[in-house]
Amino acid sequence: MTTETLTERPARSTLFDGLTKYIPIGATVALLIVMYLGGIANFKNFDSAQVIAGLFIDYAPLLVIAVGMTFVILSGGIDLSVGSVMAFSTMACAWLTVDAGISAPLAMVLVLAFGTLWGLLIGAVIHYFNVQPFIATLVGLFLFRGLTLQISDTDVSMREVDFWQWGMTHVEFGGKVRDGGFWLPYLSFVAFAVVIVAFVILHYTRFGRGVYAIGGSEQSALLMGLPVARTKIGVYAVSGFCASLAGVLAAFATKSANPLANVGAELDAIAAVVIGGTLLTGGAGFVLGTVAGVMVWGLLNTLIAFHGGLSSWWARIVMGVLLLAFILLQRVLARSGEKRRT
């Protein structure tokens, strides 16, 4: 075997590994295109611009939660508390503004601060006490769902508080919907802002590079001198902030708080992140892939709504099948990479 052959093989392997990480997100985009074209072919008015815009209205809170979950999964962790934190945040907004008489902007700041502090706390527990993320965040899932029900076991309306009208105030693009235009509320722009900020942080900051490094190998990150403790705690703070922000967006969208809302939202977020191409083991993925994953979930529900004859539970059945398929795809790609390196 010549020296040239030895040098060519690592180069080709590195090139292939570099392209491999784009295969899952490529599959997600292809799936989106197929679903959309199938909807256009089978349902009248499915090609309306408002159909796509509706995904970023109805699923704006889920998108925000999924962005926070992307940070956690990229670092090799998991956060099962986000759905309960979101429900608690919405209920806290209602209680603070309706019952406690606190101004709505101050209530919103308090809720966001609380969610961030919860993330810092649970991140510190995971790192310093070496508790598995699954167990530590499971505590939050039960704790905040119980606290939400302690505040109120029935719906609480916020319609009389003017501040909560702001989120659904909308901007029209291209005229009226009947003329081919579409509209988006302010809360959708908040979700877009979260995606943009997350993209910049993950790809252009030391913190973001640390998240990828820790997800790839925490021991290697330690040897490289990266701030592992600060980064691991930080990703859970980001997740807690995003979960509480999603609760605030839900308050804007519904102008009410339901103590049993968002049950299973954490699983929807995890599914969206994985289908968006992020490895469950951490170290590889894209926040824009998470956006595509949320769109898959939203478009699937939209197709079922247009059909009219199927139960909404079919969306979860199909999502489960897709999730399994993407996990298997990740394993196949990982094994092929290992074989090439050996």
Instruction: Report if residue 130 sits inside a domain.
Output: yes
Residue 310 pLDDT greater than 90, yes or no: no
- pLDDT for 81 beyond 60: yes
Coil, strand or helix at 159: coil
Average pLDDT, integer, range 166-184: 82
Given a cut of 90, is residue 90 above it in pLDDT? yes
Both tokens of 138, joined, read 């499971």
Total number of domains constituting the chain: 1
User: Residues 219, 214, 326, 314: what is their CA dihedral angle, to the nearest 10 degrees?
Assistant: 120
Residue 138 above 70 pLDDT?
yes
What pLDDT, in 10s, does the model give residues 213-267? 998 888 888 888 888 899 999 999 999 999 999 999 999 998 888 888 888 889 9
Are 202 and 287 in contact by the 8 Å Cβ rule? The answer is yes
**Is 12 within a domain?**
no
With a threshold of 0.85, does the pTM exceed it?
yes
Range of the domain at 283: 22-333
In terms of Cβ atoms closer than 10 Å to its own Cβ (0-12, 13-18, 19+), residue 12 is exposed
State the distance between the two ends of the chain, measured CA to CA, in whole angstroms: 16
**CATH number for 169:** 1.10.3470
Q: Where does the pLDDT of residue 7 fall: very low under 50, low under 70, confident under 90, or very high at 90 and above?
A: very low
19 confidence band (pLDDT: 50, 70, 90): low
pLDDT of residue 273 exceeding 80, the answer is yes
Q: Which pLDDT value is given to residue 116?
A: 96
Within a domain: 6: no
Whether residue 152 lies inside any domain: the answer is: yes
Query: What does the alpha-carbon distance between residue 104 and residue 84 come to, in Å, rounded to a whole number?
Result: 21
341 within some domain: no
pLDDT higher than threshold 70 for residue 342: no
